[in-house]
Amino acid sequence: MKRVILFIATNLAILFVLGIVLSILMPLLGLNSASNSGLLFMCAVFGIGGSFLSLLMSKMIAKRSVGARVIQNPSNSGETWLVNTVQRQAELAGIGMPEVAVYDSPEINAFATGANRHNALVAVSTGLLRSMSRDEAEAVLAHEVSHVANGDMVTLTLIQGVLNTFVYFFARIVANMVNRGNNSAFTYFMTVMAFQAIFGVLASIIVMGFSRYREYRADSGGADLAGRQKMIAALERLKSNQIESQLDGQLTAFGISGKRAWSELFMSHPPLEKRIAALQKR
């Protein structure tokens, strides 16, 4: 329930801010929503603008949604090891020191998020700390640090924003064509929603394809930072994880382990067998 309320509140806040932005910019640029150029501009503001506002708030949202506790002053040897390991890997990767956090969950997982390479968060689950050896956990941390170093959060946000723009735009263009001569606002709205869902599925295939590609890159980066055998061992350990990822939204894409899907086309992560095989061929 907490996650649902946070999701709704965040999106309402984003819509409110973007609505104000549009009310200011549209008259200044001489655009109106009745023209295709005005419609495209509106869709770009909501599509790209919404994605980047979400990215800017990603650390705050992540901490609250999973109840992550940021380690300010390590209270035990395990927390000291976590912070020191991330710090060493961040230095090797050439990024700013991320915040390091722990969240309570039985799943074996970890994630990274943040607006840029020098303002990130790396969080691990208590399930991971209980189930993995330090060598395996080191590889998982290296995987997440590699996501940050590769700029995956920003790139995925840009791709998602551009695709959202065209989903919104073409859904309305097609709806206008289908409903030509029909003045029912309700029919138009339902048609827009239907085509937005259809185009959204197609867009998600593209986003998930890129997500799987950058998982391979993060595995490779993790192998460079922690060692190939440690990275392979960590992925092998993940195969024993029987609990599906509890992460939502973009956190799912940047976790070490993703959600299951009926088709690989809709998976944010490649199958573990493929990830392990790719590392073995390096």
Residue 128 has pLDDT above 80, yes or no: yes
Average pLDDT for 121-137: 95
pLDDT confidence of residue 242: 63
Q: What pLDDT, in 10s, does the model give residues 144-199?
A: 999 999 999 999 999 999 999 999 999 999 999 998 877 788 898 999 999 999 99
pLDDT confidence of residue 126: 94
Topology (CATH) of 65-153+210-280: Zincin-like (3.30.2010)
Residue 104 has pLDDT above 90, yes or no: yes
For the chain, give the number of residues: 282
User: How many C-beta neighbours within 10 Å does residue 102 have?
Assistant: 21
Joined tokens for residue 85: 């390991």
Q: What pLDDT, in 10s, does the model give residues 39-67?
A: 999 999 999 999 998 888 889 888 988 89
d(CA 120, CA 107): 22
Per-domain residue ranges of the chain:
65-153+210-280
More confident position, 146 or 27: 146
d(CA 39, CA 142): 43
Is the pTM higher than 0.75? The answer reads yes
Report, as residue numbers or ranges, the catalytic residues. 144
